Amino acid sequence: MLLDENQIAFLADPIQGSVGADDALIEFSARSIDTDVLIRQEVRDYALHHGQMERVDPIVLGPRDFADEWITKPWAECSRWTDPRARPEVEQWHQRNQWASGEFIDTTLHCPQRPDLWQVGIDFSNGEADSDEASEYFLIRWRPPYHFTMVDVSRYPWPDCSEEDKEADEPRTLFLQSWHY
């Protein structure tokens, strides 16, 4: 056995995968931090390097799913998906808020002046009155086809991220079957 992990999956949707001589790709439906969304596609792509299985891209298929994945995984894992030039506060935010739940704020926004950046907003207030204080915005680099990097986290939205990108939030799959939620 080269890999020993577990993950909760929703079995109403198929678990799909492919296995090669030195890699394995698994895609399944998993829980989202947003209870209105409920489920999202989880991608586990592993490659064998020097006798060890290593998780490689793609890890997700969209910016919202990336924010969701980044928030819920341990820093040792998600630090690999964080821009090394990110402020130290990004790691501190993650350490304080891992496993937080919330609701996505509106549609994912594209940053037209910086074409490889998207903004995902999440309201972590869980219905409490002072929701402005509980909103966080995640600046995510998306390079084709599915390489994501956390660039920054802020209490305030980035002013140059203003273009709604509903397609960024659409469900995707790496397999031929299309998903319907």
pLDDT in tens, the chain (181 residues): 445 666 777 777 788 999 999 999 999 999 999 988 888 999 999 999 998 889 999 999 999 999 999 999 999 999 999 999 999 999 999 999 887 889 999 899 999 999 999 999 999 987 775 555 689 999 999 999 999 999 999 999 999 999 999 999 998 999 976 545 5
Domain assignment of residue 105, given as a range: 16-169
Q: What is the pLDDT of residues 122-163, one digit of tens each?
A: 999 877 755 556 899 999 999 999 999 999 999 999 999 999
Q: Domain total for the chain?
A: 1
Residue 50 lies inside a defined structural domain of this protein: yes
Residue 153 lies inside a defined structural domain of this protein: yes
Residue 87 lies inside a defined structural domain of this protein: yes
Residue 4 lies inside a defined structural domain of this protein: no
pLDDT value of position 4:
65
pLDDT value of position 3:
55
d(CA 158, CA 176): 36
Residue 174 lies inside a defined structural domain of this protein: no
Residue 67 lies inside a defined structural domain of this protein: yes
Residue 88 lies inside a defined structural domain of this protein: yes
pLDDT value of position 5:
67
Q: What angle do CA 53, 64, 29 make, to 5 degrees?
A: 55
pLDDT value of position 177:
60
Instruction: Give this prediction's pTM.
Output: 0.89
pLDDT value of position 1:
41
d(CA 176, CA 60): 16
Residue 180 lies inside a defined structural domain of this protein: no
